[in-house]
Structure 1
Amino acid sequence: MIKSGYLLVFLLLFTLICSGQKQNADYSIKIKKTRYAIEIDGVGEDQAWTETDVAKDFFMVLPMDKGKATQRSEIRMTYDDENIYLLATFFNDSLGPNYVESLRRDFSFGKNDNFLLFLDPFNNQTTGFTFGANAAGAQWDGTMYSGSAVDLSWDSKWISVVKRDEEKWVFEMALPFKSIRYEKGVKEWGINFSRLDLKTSEKSSWTPIGRQFPTSSLALAGTLVWDSPPPSPEFNMSLIPYVLGEIRSQPDGSQTTDGKIGGDIKLSLTSSLNLDLTVNPDFSQVEVDRQVTNLDRFELFFPERRQFFLENADLFANFGYSTIRPFFSRRIGLGVPIDAGARVSGNINEDWRLGLMDIQTSSLEDEGRPAQNFGVLSLQRKVFSRSNIGLIFVNKQSFNYPTEQDSLRTLFPEYNRNLGMEYNLASSDNLWSGKAFLLKSFAPDDENKGISQAANLSYNNRQWSWGLQEEVISTGYSAEVGFVPREDYIRLSGYAGYLFFPDKGPLVSHGPRLDLSHFFNNNFKNTDYQNTFGYSLNYRNRSELRFQWINEYVELLAPFDPTRTGKPDLAAGEKNHWNTFRLVYNSKPQALFTYSFDSSFGGYYEQGTRINFSNELGYRFQPYVSLSSALSYNHITLPAPWNTTQFWLIGSKADITFSNTLFWATLFQYNEQTRNFNLNSRLQWRYQPASDLFLVFTQNERLAPFTGSTWSLTLKLTYWFNP
């Protein structure tokens, strides 16, 4: 068995070999303080813009990273005591319209002509901020973590305007210094600019970036050089109160009305460290989860969408792997109100990052649920050029039990704790990445004390990509505030892929990929595996086609209903082996009508068969209306007593954007597997930057043989106030 210690040695060795100077550090743009006033109008004729440096001569990233971009772009930047200003001009050197999906904020990157700014104020090549807009003026903003990942759930106060004509489109923005975090006295920031032009299928970047990497890769960013250090941030406090009224129906047909007030406070402890406080938080405006067909034996993951948990979320939520998380914030406030919370997060300096969170939930006497406190401490230290070492401690504490029954302490243990360390490898050239971590759980009983450890190493250049990974979760490891759907196993996995690049023709690349994933018990007996061989075809118009052959083996570790519809269970210990053929296609995003499908045919449990077809359709009347639908059909044939089972999952969404400040989205979903109907309709008016009025209607109905129907109508007002 591969031991984590050996992989850790390899990770450290590769770190030493691959550490070096920032690859594109010589690409720099100077930013000078302006004496003139700037009007944000998308015209760019202010005197200030005549005295700036110009970033131009972008490099092509896609479809092929060889040479300069064919579409000209020019970027200018300046600043004053309050704001950073940016003017971007994008020339239409090829005839054709601009493509946009809608005016909705935080648009889908690949479906819009757009410009994105990536800022790395600490120049640590790991964390930062992103801002931008599509060609119709819809804004984009988010925080950056793990070197290139973007969290678009984060919102901040800034303004921008886009103007278009036949020759070009122009983006102009003002970003307040108080809306971002940066280190006092630093004169060099990491920076890059990215443009996507769908009519030519061209993605370009100010600095040269390999096509296998996203343009958000901070390791490949250039340098923003200030003429003097940015203004030292003064004490900054933001108050974000809310008030709401709600009408809600109950399953018995009765109705209740409710009013609620609460809000958040943001305090700048330093220029780069923030304190966030929340009292009586409400998340009624958050979009509902997308329903899915669930034929998995283990719990499914649904992402966090609540604003309070999102800024610097990587400090808390990215420890471990996607299936071994010691902390998962959606465990907090699950069916119980949150009374209050506090979070300190950000950069202590160029090398150290800190995350500290504490959340208090209410007790529910009628359910026997005690009050609970959730605490998380995360500390991260940068090592070498881009790698880091992290520490995390997670504590869930129950107290004020309604009664002293032993059954309550079994159902809601007095505490559950996790302590862990991890090492993250990120090479200076962005080719190598990896991770190694060790977690230990603590609980009142010995059954929930155990360890989890894992490590991986991967390599990715233009043609080759490969990786190796091992995981071990011991008997008794528990993470009640985490996401660990599977317990007590050893897993070895790996992948390898290669791409060919034709000199001409409709294909820009094509190639094979092999994925292997094998699970073992603690005696190293193989309990299940999935081996996948695939071949992908990537077209110059950004459409793609993929074929896969999947060889799968499952030995059931617990009784399982293979239809998950309430039919009899298969017995634990049963062994099943089957093959599946899968075909996936995504159409080009430039078309007003877009479509994709994912279909598979193969074996299933008990020598049965499963046919699955999933499809997504979209049509847009750009930029105001975007319509989409999604459906999934499963046809499962098994021997008695399951026989033939078939069910649909149907969803449709109408997204109407009257302007870039007024949005109306309606999502309808019907899941035949769970017999659940759901409707969510949300009207949002952003009447001032980061201040909103929401009107939200939600209906949930369980169909026969289940019963129960509820609906709610909520009016919520938030206001971002800077004293």
Structure 2
Amino acid sequence: MHNLINYAWLPILFFFGNISAQETETTSQNFPKRSYTTVPIGAKEAPKIDGDLTEPAWNLVEWTTDYVEFEPDNATPPTEQTKMKILYDEKNLYVAFKCYQKNPATIEKRMGRRDDFPGDWVEINIDSYGDDRTGFSFTASASGVKGDEFISNNGNFDGSWNPIWYLSTKIDNDGWTAEMRIPLSQLRFSSADEQVWGIQSTRRYFNNEERSTWQPLPANPPGWVSEFGELRGIKGIKPQKQLEIQPYTVGQLDTYEAEEGNPFRDGSDPRLTGGLDAKIGVTNDLTLDVTINPDFGQVDADPGAVALDGFEIFFQERRPFFVENKSVFDFTIGSGADNLFFSRRIGRSPQGSAFGPTTAFVDQPNNTTILGAAKFSGKTKDGLTVGVLESVTAKEFADVIDADGSETEELVEPLTNYLVGRVQQDFNNNNSYVGGIFTSTVRNMDENVSFLHSHAYSGGIDFKHNWKERTYYVEGSAVLSNVRGNAQAIARTQTSLTHLFQRVDADHVSVDPTRTQLTGTGGRFEFGKGGGGDWRYAIGGNFKSPELELNDIGFLRQADDIRQYAVLRRLFNKPTSWYRRANARVNLSSAFDYEGNYNRIQYEIGGFINWKNNWWSDFGAAHKPRIFTNTFLRGGPRWRYNEENYIFFFSGTDQRKKLSFSGGTVQSQAKQDNFAFREYDVGLRYQPLNSLNLSLNVNYSENPSKTQYVTQQDFNGTARYILGAIDQETLSTTLRVNYNINPNLTIQYYGQPFIFKADFSDFNFVNDATAEDLNNRITHYETDQIRLENGEYRVDEDRDGTIDFTFGDPDFAFVQFRSNLVVRWEYIPGSEIFLVWSQGLNGIGDPRNSFSTIVDNQLLSQKPQNTFLLKATYRFVL
């Protein structure tokens, strides 16, 4: 393990040390904390929420103004000024804005769905906890579109939070006004008689793409919530215990092409279901969310993707119950998606299969039924964040008809209980926290699913400490996992792609077929500079032991991995004659495994420029002189790739314009043409009307390689790792259309065709997996050693006239089309009606065909599956 310190890091450490020493002598720009004092009003004095600020109640407080430009020209007077007033009563907070604009005709009144933030807008952020880390954001666009977000970790905005509140806007001769009523039940605050809340207000002036704030901020503040001003004068309000119940009903009809003789595919499947969601305020600080028989519809389907490396593809969570307050449960342990909690494990596709040698027809569920779920979360006045999530998924059976006509049921997923508990405690004037997490997956095992873990547990602790006005920070975490099951289940884990204990050249791991549990560890550590001045940097690392296993309720791509990284950024915040703002960055990263193998190092540079005309460019380049991987040969020896270089460049026009474009490319090339990657992206956005916008994105990529893994075969008692040259192409097009009749009635369309094809040739086998020269690493088969017959390659490697082994033709093409048309009507705040038409189609094409031929033969000629759905919800606020 002494080899894990790479000497290439020494100049980086020395450079960071110099930067740190220099900047300790420089103080960031300080702005005095502003304060606004509100007054109470009686219920009869409450202003009507109509955008007209003439009610007498508004005369009880003074306007606060003097907003200061935040972007692009920090700490200067804004082009147009803004005013704000705040009132309250025992049930509500009232906020009024007056947004001046010399020519009201230039106010951009674009429409959009909730949280779209179109056109001109103004918002208020409220830190009612007073913890300098969390807050509630309410945004009003000039067209009346609402935006609301929960703020966590001093600057992470979560748009999945959808509280009930009221808004009206108006255009007048001075500009435009916005009037809000925010029920106190939607906020969280202490029971103190006198409250002091943090507040911030931001205005977007669309014409100049300018942001101004009520509380002035430096160009790159060390956080968001921690820099708020103060709201004073709130006295005698009582915490509001929220109680909301939202039943729903769904009528659904699936239609598809009937399969002759298959009773499970007769052409249509109707169903009627119902369920209930509830939000219960246990205290003003803590909320219990409950869902029974939840419906998890979504507008955007998961994008098309194919992975030839064998790893699971990560898709974002989109289901509202799990998305809301998801930040409470996050516990990352490294780069990428690795996390102790990945909510898409709950309700996943059944992991068992009912197909057997005599199976004729199978009706297998696509997803596991979630019987119910409950989520208890919130933050106390003492700075304790709590999150507990409990969910139970049902036994799932597949209906099976055998060739002799007999009908049976096969268990494909057992009854499973999922539990996640998360805590974090703030201290040191909210500059530091410590936290912990515990996860549990417990299955009611049965013989048909004995390959699964019966129990899976993980736990961890994390911390973060900020100092010198949050300029510097240090953070880290440590995790422990334990999985249990029979010997079959644990052997399956040991030999999975995530672990590969069977690697032939690994001395530090080996498969033990008698083990019935695995215990692993992981963690990360990082320190850096997150605020003050124009420099930012971070240096850290993470580790995942070979036995670490999280995939029962978390996400882990690869264990047996140790990473180091360093990042340095220079910010250019002062606008010039040719840019509004810019940044430049330098990254260094390296990787090892637990045997001490030095697997990778990468150097990267890049930059971003927001040009004076509001166009933008993002660019970079990287050099990878050392690339080894333990997983490429799926249990075979460690594999070496050739040295790689890549560049990327993306740019776009002013996104505020009615018509805007974006595009870019990634170009990667390895030495000796070992592999390459070429990607091209083009995007178009068009808004012919304030109520209508369209976007089209096209992505095309090529990923040729001389050494794509195909299979492993036995040759004279030794393992043969068969590779091939691959011509790999991907094409996808994504179309989105949004028509907003008004802020509460919208029509949205999403459609994406996706085509992937892979054509193999020049088959070869591994000769010396770690040889520097590609010609020594592999040996090509000659034409007299391999031939294709009836979809199967037959190999006579020793040329003795006897076939040594065979493998299937790996060429394939995959085509997919997914679309959703959704009409959404929020007929009263919090209550909605959805009309949905979804289409889906999957097919296998001929990789020798062109994309246009595949579209004709596999997309246009097939009958897609259609889903028609009507969903109605009603939210009771008690």
Equivalence for 1:260: 273
Instruction: State the percentage of identical aligned residues.
Output: 22
Cα deviation digits, residues 186-239 of structure 1 (max 9, x gap) = 51011100111121221111111122249x810110111134142332x44211
Q: Are 1:603 and 2:669 counterparts?
A: yes
**2:201 match: secondary structure:** strand
Structure 2: distance between partners of 1:75 and 1:171: 10
Q: Which amino acid aligns with 1:678?
A: R
Q: Which amino acid aligns with 1:450?
A: G
1:301, CA displacement in angstroms? Answer: 3.2
Q: CA 1:638–1:477 in 2, change beyond 3 Å: closer, same or farther?
A: closer
Any conservation in 2 of the 1:326–1:394 contact (CA below 8 Å)? yes
Q: Are 1:534 and 2:534 counterparts?
A: no
1:717, CA displacement in angstroms? Answer: 0.4
Q: Work out which of the residue numbers 729, 742, 767 in structure 2 matches 1:646.
A: 729
Which deviates further from its counterpart, 386-395 or 458-467?
Answer: 458-467
Cα deviation digits, residues 313-345 of structure 1 (max 9, x gap) = 222124545533111111111120100111211
Any conservation in 2 of the 1:25–1:221 contact (CA below 8 Å)? no
Q: CA 1:510–1:264 in 2, change beyond 3 Å: closer, same or farther?
A: closer
Any conservation in 2 of the 1:24–1:222 contact (CA below 8 Å)? no
Equivalence for 2:186: 179
Equivalence for 1:658: 741
Equivalence for 2:684: 617
Equivalence for 2:588: 516
Equivalence for 2:481: 441
Q: How does 1:83-122 map to 2 (within 5 A)?
A: 83-93=92-102, 97-99=106-108, 101-108=110-117, 112-122=119-129
Which deviates further from its counterpart, 364-373 or 600-609?
Answer: 600-609
Q: Are 1:248 and 2:254 counterparts?
A: yes
Which deviates further from its counterpart, 275-284 or 495-504?
Answer: 495-504
1:704, CA displacement in angstroms? Answer: 2.8
1:370, CA displacement in angstroms? Answer: 0.6
Q: Are 1:578 and 2:650 counterparts?
A: no
Structure 1: distance between partners of 2:727 and 2:300: 35
Q: Which amino acid aligns with 1:440?
A: L
1:297, CA displacement in angstroms? Answer: 6.9
Cα deviation digits, residues 544-576 of structure 1 (max 9, x gap) = 213211213432322379xxxxxxx99861322
Equivalence for 1:379: 423
Cα deviation digits, residues 683-723 of structure 1 (max 9, x gap) = 10000101100011111101333899432111000110023
Q: CA 1:502–1:417 in 2, change beyond 3 Å: closer, same or farther?
A: closer
Equivalence for 2:383: 351
Q: CA 1:307–1:535 in 2, change beyond 3 Å: closer, same or farther?
A: closer
**2:725 match: secondary structure:** coil
**1:658 match: secondary structure:** strand
Structure 2: distance between partners of 1:341 and 1:162: 38
Structure 2: distance between partners of 1:622 and 1:448: 59
TM-score, length-scaled by structure 1: 0.90
Structure 1: distance between partners of 2:651 and 2:310: 27
Q: Work out which of the residue numbers 390, 404, 429 in structure 1 matches 2:447.
A: 404
1:362, CA displacement in angstroms? Answer: 0.4
Cα deviation digits, residues 352-381 of structure 1 (max 9, x gap) = 121111100001133431110001111111
Q: CA 1:504–1:378 in 2, change beyond 3 Å: closer, same or farther?
A: closer
Cα deviation digits, residues 93-126 of structure 1 (max 9, x gap) = 4786233553311015xx6321121111111011
Q: Which runs of 5+ in 1 are unaligned?
A: 562-568
Q: How does 1:246-645 map to 2 (within 5 A)?
A: 246-249=252-255, 252=259, 254-291=267-304, 298-321=311-334, 322-334=336-348, 335-365=367-397, 366-386=410-430, 387-399=432-444, 401=445, 403-404=446-447, 408-410=449-451, 412-427=452-467, 429-444=469-484, 445=490, 448-460=518-530, 461-479=532-550, 480-500=552-572, 504-552=576-624, 553-559=626-632, 573-604=639-670, 607-639=674-706, 641-645=724-728
Any conservation in 1 of the 2:478–2:524 contact (CA below 8 Å)? yes
**2:642 match: secondary structure:** strand
Any conservation in 2 of the 1:297–1:560 contact (CA below 8 Å)? no
Structure 1: distance between partners of 2:580 and 2:121: 22
**2:235 match: secondary structure:** coil
Equivalence for 1:212: 220
Structure 2: distance between partners of 1:557 and 1:41: 64
Structure 2: distance between partners of 1:300 and 1:73: 47
Any conservation in 1 of the 2:667–2:678 contact (CA below 8 Å)? yes
Structure 2: distance between partners of 1:137 and 1:709: 38
Structure 2: distance between partners of 1:343 and 1:503: 46
**1:45 match: secondary structure:** coil
Structure 2: distance between partners of 1:348 and 1:510: 40
Any conservation in 2 of the 1:96–1:199 contact (CA below 8 Å)? no
Q: CA 1:367–1:620 in 2, change beyond 3 Å: closer, same or farther?
A: farther
Which deviates further from its counterpart, 465-474 or 302-311?
Answer: 302-311
Q: Which amino acid aligns with 1:87?
A: A
Q: Give the count of matched residue pairs.
A: 696
Structure 1: distance between partners of 2:648 and 2:633: 24
1:267, CA displacement in angstroms? Answer: 1.4
Higher RCO (CA < 8 A, seq sep 6+): 1
Any conservation in 2 of the 1:101–1:620 contact (CA below 8 Å)? no
1:680, CA displacement in angstroms? Answer: 1.0
1:427, CA displacement in angstroms? Answer: 4.4
Any conservation in 1 of the 2:188–2:285 contact (CA below 8 Å)? yes
**1:499 match: secondary structure:** strand
Cα deviation digits, residues 417-465 of structure 1 (max 9, x gap) = 0011000234473433442000000111556310001011231344211
Q: Are 1:226 and 2:227 counterparts?
A: no
Q: Which runs of 5+ in 2 are unaligned?
A: 7-12, 260-264, 349-366, 398-409, 485-489, 491-514, 708-723, 757-813, 846-857
Which deviates further from its counterpart, 317-326 or 125-134?
Answer: 317-326
Q: Work out which of the residue numbers 132, 136, 145 in structure 1 matches 2:139.
A: 132
Any conservation in 2 of the 1:507–1:538 contact (CA below 8 Å)? yes
Which deviates further from its counterpart, 27-36 or 505-514?
Answer: 505-514
Cα deviation digits, residues 631-666 of structure 1 (max 9, x gap) = 111133444943533331111110111100001100
Structure 2: distance between partners of 1:32 and 1:513: 48
Equivalence for 1:48: 57
1:294, CA displacement in angstroms? Answer: 5.8
Q: Which amino acid aligns with 1:198?
A: F
Any conservation in 2 of the 1:88–1:170 contact (CA below 8 Å)? yes
